[in-house]
A and B are shown apart, each in its own frame.
Chain A
Amino acid sequence: MKEKRTDLLQGTLDLLVLKALALGPLHGLGVSSRIEQLTRGTFHVKPGSLFPALHRMEQAGWLKSTWGESENNRRAKYYRLTKAGERQLTTEMEDWQRISLAIANALKAT
């Protein structure tokens, strides 16, 4: 808990959650540790941001939740991507790549 953390941009959180779930269904804590793992510890998503995001995205129809058993035999709510969520992931990834490329170019210019 000493790693450098970056504040998550609003749009990036959605993208990261979608990306995390693209690999398979996860519960809340699973999503946050998957994101930490994927970003190699750069991003640490707090539950105060994570849960509103998950609920918002479920309402939008990108995610679907089911109750299941966790590895430690706890009842947990699992989220997985819907078809709409997969489509959303694709568009958000494209958007992100375009933006980051543009910004990288902008920063490279002297």
Chain B
Amino acid sequence: MALWSRLLSLWRNLFRKEQVEKELAEEVQTYLEMLIDAKIRQGLEPEVARRLAVLEMGGVEQVKEQVREVRMGQLLETIAQDLRYGARMLRKRPGFTAVAVLTLALGSGATSAIFSIFNIFVLNPFPFSDSSRIYLLRQSLPKIGVKDQFRASGPEYAELAQIQAFERIAAWESVSRNLTGSEQAERVAAAKVSSDFFSLLGIEPILGRTIRPEEVGDSAARVLVISHALWQRRFAGDTNVIGQRIALDDEPYTIIGVMPPNFQFDGGDAWFPFPMHLHQLGRSGRAFAVLARLKSGTSTAQAASELEILARQQERDFASANPDYENRTYHLQPISEFYYGPLQTALFILFAAVGLVLLIACANIANLLLAQATSRSHELAIRQALGAGRARLLRQLLMESLLLAFVGGALGLLLAFWGTGALVAMAPSGTFPPGLEIPVNSRVLLFSLLITLATAVLFGLLPALRTSGGNLQQAMQTGAQRSTAGQRHRRTQNLLVMAEVSLSLILLVMAGLMIRSFSRLTNVDPGFRTDNLMTMRVNRSPAKSDGGKQMAPFFQQVIEKVKTTPGVEGVAVASHMPFVFTEDWALTVESEAVPVDLRTPSIDTRTVSSDYFSVMGIPFFAGESFAEAADVTPVVLINRTMANRYWLNEDVIGKRLKIGNADSKSPWFTIKGVVADSAQGTLDAETRPEVYFSLSQMASRYRRMNLVIRTTGEPKALLSAIQQRIQEVDKDQPVYQVQTIQELLAESIGTRRFAMLLLILFAGIAMVMAFIGIYGVISYGVSQRQQELGIRMALGASQRDVLRLILRQGMIIVAAGLVIGLLAAFWLTRLMANLLFNVSATDPLTFFALSLILAGVALLACYVPARRATKVNPMTALRTQ
């Protein structure tokens, strides 16, 4: 009842304001008239009665004002008043408003854009149900130099399934297949999975079903779950797709399910059951990855201790047959880290960087506000004299800031909508999962709102406190305002400039470290010539390659044919290219240099044709290349690192190694030559030992090979001619992923490059803002001190003296800012250590060079207004008062 009545009054006061005011006026007026009537009735003259009545009432307007003050919604009313007033003040200063709003929009827009990406990859990294409980299992086998690899063998998988802390485990192995069946052949990324794969991730198909347990291990059960993207692409979203047949590498599969669009895993488009029972595989054949979901309420520590017990038990039970088990360890890696690990660090750094930019923007606006505070102190003093309390003035000033922040924030949000998409689009492929949609969701909106409020307080509070707290009398005396109030503001402004300088320096150092690290990286010699080198993938189905037997002959034929293309200098074949991925096998080396139990390490391998080294430009240190079919016994080539590690650089030609452990049925391969080291997975990784197998002897193990073509001119110009030659060998043979080596290289460092460019952009913005900030404060100081400078010059100070005076004062602030910035950067940059390559996070040269650059920019920002100060005509300066 009471509440209802209050709400009704509130509504009336806010929306029926005229009516309420009219009634109030009439009510008070009637009271006065009636009072006069009463006094006349008492026998007074009408004139006298009126005067006495007015006196008794104490003023009609005052009474009305007192009533207004008890009205509901009075607070809202004054806030609305402040807002209107604030808007008017901002409109009156369009230059300032535009600069402030744009600075804020840029700052908050960039921050929100980075946040919306951060939100997905760091705060809410995986679209799977309860993804924080999903882990990837990694193991280290120190005996054979395997560290943190994620492949497990069948028997190990069966033993891992017994761990109590796991709700369930699942296995997957990524493969790629030629998809045929309808019109056009296509290369798809697929995966062999165990039946628990989908249920572990907690994702239901939108059509059909997923894989049943009895279908795993049954090579006749060729069932296939496809991705939403593949369903759209090949079947145009046809709901009758369930039960249709398509072929993967010429083997027919029946489609049983379609996954939802947000389901993405390892870039896969199709999933089918493992055709064999995992536990029937050999103990040392580590082929597939293992996912584990922890039971809810179970800690990773519990799981880790169980894994440790398992590792020790495996060591005890199997070490005799598997010496690599000695000191083995397991560990769990959060699934998000596996997928987004480096990206998360990069995003974290970028988020921090953009936050610094926003802070600098706030400092700049605060400075602008302070500069105006002096000119407004008169206005505010008048308001104070008319009865406005300090709280009222503070509220009004903050309301202006809030208004600015909201306009800037709204513009920033628009920028964020656009910027998020642009960021994802500009990022090199591989940075973000394909088809990623980054929603601007409620969390992003909330974040933007908080940012807006925070910035308003950040840039508004200090000037508001400074401005509203002035001494009334001093402010009213315009002369005093210049010296006293101005001085106080200047101190605050100096502090703000100092903060700006130090924040900019942190950003500059961050960007500088990235640049240095990147240039070190691009100067790494990959060990081969990268110009005019093109690669493409060729996939052969088992049927066409006759179970592998026809692989080598086919590729020999292709090499011979492509070689005849005009403009082609050389052609070779490799199982995989540098910068794409690496492959490692367990090999046993015949070496006296290492202890017996270290002779079955896991080594990078590559199968290549004999011309690979000459085409790539990798020199030989010893021996010679393969002779293809003329090699009658099994032969290999090794790289320099391999020769150093296992044979200590002695004469290795004629030494032997075999695939698998010492008891394996593999023949011994004789080392025929040693080649120089060349890049493997990435440029920033140390070169590992590597063994090259011969195409003629090993091609049957592969389904896919890469053609490597060295040309005399632009490689891609020859593509169709080369394709024609390949089709002369097999008219149905597609090629895909046609890329130059330079593209592969660029892609492998693309994310790093992208992070660097963004940091440079942020640092650049920061430096410009710092410049504006310093410039603004120094010129403001000069304009405030005209009179003093005039006196100095009148008393004989030279232009040089004045210049030095202004510069010294400016540079003292800058120097203080630089020192603080250096200390902060020294402490902060270590957080980005793992984004850096061959550069220390506290690299002295970077720190020094960038301090110098920033000092130079600051000097320029001081010099321009200082120079103007020297042009002051003493007489004019003295007269301005």
Once A52-B67, A61-B1 are accepted as A-B contacts, the answer to whether A47 and B9 lie under 8 Å apart by CB is no
Interface centre among A46, A55, A58, A61 (most CB of B within 10 A): A55
Is there an interface contact between B72 and A46, defined as CB atoms closer than 8 Å?
Answer: no
Is there an interface contact between B66 and A29, defined as CB atoms closer than 8 Å?
Answer: no
Is there an interface contact between A84 and B2, defined as CB atoms closer than 8 Å?
Answer: yes
- At the interface, yes or no: B58 with Cβ under 8 Å from chain A? yes
Is there an interface contact between B2 and A61, defined as CB atoms closer than 8 Å?
Answer: yes
Is there an interface contact between A75 and B30, defined as CB atoms closer than 8 Å?
Answer: yes
- At the interface, yes or no: A77 with Cβ under 8 Å from chain B? yes
Interface centre among B4, B9, B31 (most CB of A within 10 A): B31
Once A48-B62, A48-B66, A84-B1 are accepted as A-B contacts, the answer to whether A59 and B34 lie under 8 Å apart by CB is no
B residues whose Cβ falls under 8 Å from a Cβ of A: 1-2, 4-6, 9, 23, 26-28, 30-31, 33-35, 37-38, 56-58, 62-63, 66-67, 69-72
A47 to B37, CA, bound (A): 16
Q: How far in angstroms is the closest Cβ of chain A from B15?
A: 15
Is there an interface contact between A47 and B58, defined as CB atoms closer than 8 Å?
Answer: yes
A residues whose Cβ falls under 8 Å from a Cβ of B: 27-29, 33, 46-49, 51-52, 55-56, 58-61, 70, 72, 74-77, 84
A72 to B37, CA, bound (A): 9
Q: How far in angstroms is the closest Cβ of chain B from A22?
A: 19
Nearest neighbor of B5 in chain A, beta-carbon distance: A61
Contact of A77 among B6, B23, B35, B72 (CB under 8 A): B23
Once A28-B27, A55-B70 are accepted as A-B contacts, the answer to whether A61 and B38 lie under 8 Å apart by CB is no
Number of A-B contacts (CB under 8 A): 73
Nearest neighbor of B72 in chain A, beta-carbon distance: A59
Once A46-B57, A46-B58, A59-B9 are accepted as A-B contacts, the answer to whether A52 and B30 lie under 8 Å apart by CB is no
Once A55-B70, A59-B9, A75-B26 are accepted as A-B contacts, the answer to whether A47 and B4 lie under 8 Å apart by CB is no
Is there an interface contact between A29 and B34, defined as CB atoms closer than 8 Å?
Answer: yes
Once A27-B30, A27-B34, A76-B34 are accepted as A-B contacts, the answer to whether A47 and B23 lie under 8 Å apart by CB is no
Nearest neighbor of B4 in chain A, beta-carbon distance: A61
Nearest neighbor of B9 in chain A, beta-carbon distance: A59
Is there an interface contact between A51 and B2, defined as CB atoms closer than 8 Å?
Answer: no
A51 to B30, CA, bound (A): 12
Contact partners of B57 in chain A: CB under 8 A: 46-48
- 26 interchain pairs (CB within 8 A)? A27-B31, A27-B34, A28-B30, A29-B34, A29-B35, A46-B57, A47-B28, A47-B31, A47-B58, A47-B63, A48-B58, A51-B27, A51-B31, A51-B67, A52-B66, A56-B70, A59-B5, A59-B6, A60-B5, A61-B4, A61-B6, A72-B37, A74-B34, A75-B30, A76-B34, A77-B26
A77 to B56, CA, bound (A): 20
Contact partners of A70 in chain B: CB under 8 A: 30, 34
Is there an interface contact between B56 and A46, defined as CB atoms closer than 8 Å?
Answer: yes
A75 to B28, CA, bound (A): 11
A72 to B63, CA, bound (A): 23
Known: A48-B57, A59-B9, A76-B27. 12 other contacts (CB 8 A): A27-B30, A28-B30, A29-B34, A29-B35, A47-B28, A47-B31, A51-B31, A51-B66, A59-B71, A70-B34, A74-B34, A76-B34
Nearest neighbor of A83 in chain B, beta-carbon distance: B1
A48 to B38, CA, bound (A): 19
Contact partners of A72 in chain B: CB under 8 A: 34, 37
Contact partners of A49 in chain B: CB under 8 A: 66
Contact partners of A56 in chain B: CB under 8 A: 70
A49 to B57, CA, bound (A): 10
Q: How far in angstroms is the closest Cβ of chain B from A78?
A: 10
Once A27-B30, A74-B30 are accepted as A-B contacts, the answer to whether A52 and B9 lie under 8 Å apart by CB is no
Interface centre among A47, A49, A60, A72 (most CB of B within 10 A): A47
Nearest neighbor of B69 in chain A, beta-carbon distance: A52
Q: How far in angstroms is the closest Cβ of chain A from B99?
A: 45
A58 to B6, CA, bound (A): 9
Contact of B9 among A33, A58, A77, A84 (CB under 8 A): A58
A42 to B404, CA, bound (A): 55
Contact partners of B56 in chain A: CB under 8 A: 46
Q: How far in angstroms is the closest Cβ of chain A from B43?
A: 14
A47 to B314, CA, bound (A): 95
Is there an interface contact between B9 and A29, defined as CB atoms closer than 8 Å?
Answer: no
Is there an interface contact between B31 and A28, defined as CB atoms closer than 8 Å?
Answer: yes
Contact partners of A47 in chain B: CB under 8 A: 28, 31, 57-58, 63
A59 to B242, CA, bound (A): 69
A55 to B6, CA, bound (A): 11
Interface centre among B4, B9, B33, B34 (most CB of A within 10 A): B34
A50 to B31, CA, bound (A): 11
Contact of A51 among B4, B26, B28, B72 (CB under 8 A): B28
Nearest neighbor of A57 in chain B, beta-carbon distance: B70
Contact partners of B30 in chain A: CB under 8 A: 27-28, 70, 74-77
A75 to B31, CA, bound (A): 10
A84 to B3, CA, bound (A): 12
Nearest neighbor of A87 in chain B, beta-carbon distance: B1
Q: How far in angstroms is the closest Cβ of chain A from B20?
A: 10
Q: How far in angstroms is the closest Cβ of chain B from A100?
A: 26
Once A58-B9, A59-B5, A61-B5 are accepted as A-B contacts, the answer to whether A52 and B31 lie under 8 Å apart by CB is no
A29 to B63, CA, bound (A): 14
Q: How far in angstroms is the closest Cβ of chain A from B63?
A: 5
A103 to B691, CA, bound (A): 104
Q: How far in angstroms is the closest Cβ of chain A from B35?
A: 6
Is there an interface contact between A77 and B1, defined as CB atoms closer than 8 Å?
Answer: no
A28 to B32, CA, bound (A): 10
Contact partners of B58 in chain A: CB under 8 A: 46-48
Q: How far in angstroms is the closest Cβ of chain A from B83?
A: 24
